[in-house]
Amino acid sequence: MRAASSRPSLMVLTLVLAALCVVVVDGRNHIHKQKPHGHGGVGGRHNKASGANGATVVSSPAVPPEDADEPPPLLVPPPPIGTGIVPSDPATPTQPEQQPCVFDVRAFGAAGESTADDTDAFRAAWSAACAVQSGVLLVPSDGTFTIASTTFSGPCQPGLVFQVDGVLMPPDGPDCWPPSDNRRQWLVFSNLDGMTLRGAGTIEGNGEEWWNLPCKPHRGPNGSTLHGPCDSPTLIRFFMSRNLVVEGLRVENSPEFHFRFDGCSDVLVDGLFISAPANSPNTDGIHVENTERVRIYNSKISNGDDCISIGTGSYDLDIQNISCGPGHGISIGSLGVHNSQACVANVTVRNAVIRNSDNGLRIKTWQGGAGSVSGIAFDGVLMENVRNCIIIDQYYCLDKRCMNASTAVRVANVSYSNVRGSYDVRSAPIHFACSDAVPCTNVTMSEVELLPFSGELVDDPFCWSAYGVQQTPTIPPISCLQDGLPESLLDDLDLKCP
Instruction: Output 369 or 228, whichever has higher pLDDT.
Output: 369
Q: What is the average pLDDT across 77-101?
A: 48
- Domains of the chain in start order, with CATH, are 11-44+98-214+231-267+281-294 (2.160.20.10), 306-498 (2.160.20.10)
| Nearest Cα residue to 110 out of 135, 148, 141, 146 | 146
Residue 350: pLDDT band by 50, 70, 90 thresholds? very high
pTM for this one?
0.81
Q: What pLDDT score does 216 carry?
A: 80
* Extended beta strands in 336-490, E state: 341-355, 359-365, 370-386, 388-393, 410-423, 430-433, 440-452, 462-464, 466-470
Percent of the chain topping pLDDT 90? 63
Distance CA 256, CA 231 (A): 9
Q: CA nearest 156: which of 201, 198, 196?
A: 196
Q: Is the dihedral of CA 355, 358, 359, 363 positive or negative?
A: negative
Stretch 105-117: mean pLDDT, rounded? 96
pLDDT at residue 390 tops 90 = yes
Is 330:296 a contact under the CB 8 Å cutoff?
no
* Angle CA 477–478–479, to nearest 5: 115
What pLDDT is attached to residue 215?
A: 82
Tell me whether residue 40 is exposed, middle or buried, using C-beta atoms within 10 angstroms of its C-beta: 0 to 12, 13 to 18, 19 or more. Answer: buried
Residue 70 Cα distances to 51, 54, 58, 59, 306, angstroms: 17, 20, 20, 18, 43
Ranking 51-60, 108-117, 245-254, 468-477 by mean pLDDT, the lowest is: 51-60
Stronger pLDDT, 74 or 354, i.e. the higher one: 354
Res 431 pLDDT > 70 = yes
pLDDT value, residue 407: 85
> What per-residue confidence (pLDDT) applies to 84?
38
59-68, 398-407, 445-454, 486-495 — most confident range = 445-454
Pairing of strands 48-50, 56-58: antiparallel
Residue with the bigger pLDDT between 234 and 37: it is: 234
Choice between 458 and 87, residue whose per-residue pLDDT is larger: 458
- The one-character DSSP state at 408 is B
Candidates 37, 328, 338, 431; catalytic one: 328
Report how far residue 396's alpha carbon sits from residue 394's, in angstroms, rounded to the nearest whole number: 6
Whole-number pLDDT of residue 67: 37
pLDDT for the residue numbered 49: 37
Report the C-alpha dihedral over residues 367, 372, 375, 377, rounded to 10 degrees: -20
Q: How long a stretch of residues is the chain?
A: 498
Using alpha carbons, select from 256, 377, 354 the residue that is nearest to residue 307. 354
Q: Are 483 and 469 in contact (CB under 8 A)?
A: yes
Split at pLDDT 50, 70, 90, the class of 491 is: low
Looking at per-residue pLDDT, the higher value among 185 and 45 belongs to 185
Residue 456's pLDDT is 74
pLDDT tens-digit readout, 160-195: 999 999 999 999 999 999 988 889 999 999 999 999
The Cα–Cα gap between 338 and 366 comes to: 8
- Measured distance CA(462)–CA(479) in Å, rounded: 9
Catalytic (active site) residue 328 = yes
pLDDT of residue 290: 98
Q: 148 pLDDT band (50/70/90 cuts)? A: very high
Q: Which of 41, 3, 2 shows the shortest CA–CA distance to 321?
A: 41
Instruction: Compute φ and ψ for 456, nearest 5 degrees.
Output: -90, 155
pLDDT, position 458: 67
pLDDT for position 136: 98
**Mean pLDDT of the chain, nearest integer:** 82
Alpha-carbon gap, residue 361 to 364, rounded angstroms = 10
Mean pLDDT of all residues in 198-204:
98
Checking if the pLDDT of 414 tops 90, the result is yes
pLDDT for the residue 86: 36
Q: Evaluate if residue 327 carries a pLDDT over 80.
A: yes
Rounded to an integer, the average pLDDT of 242-249 is 98
pLDDT for residue 225: 65
pLDDT tens digit string along 276-293?
A: 999 999 999 999 999 999
Task: Give whichever of 220-224, 269-273, 458-462 has the largest mean pLDDT.
Answer: 269-273
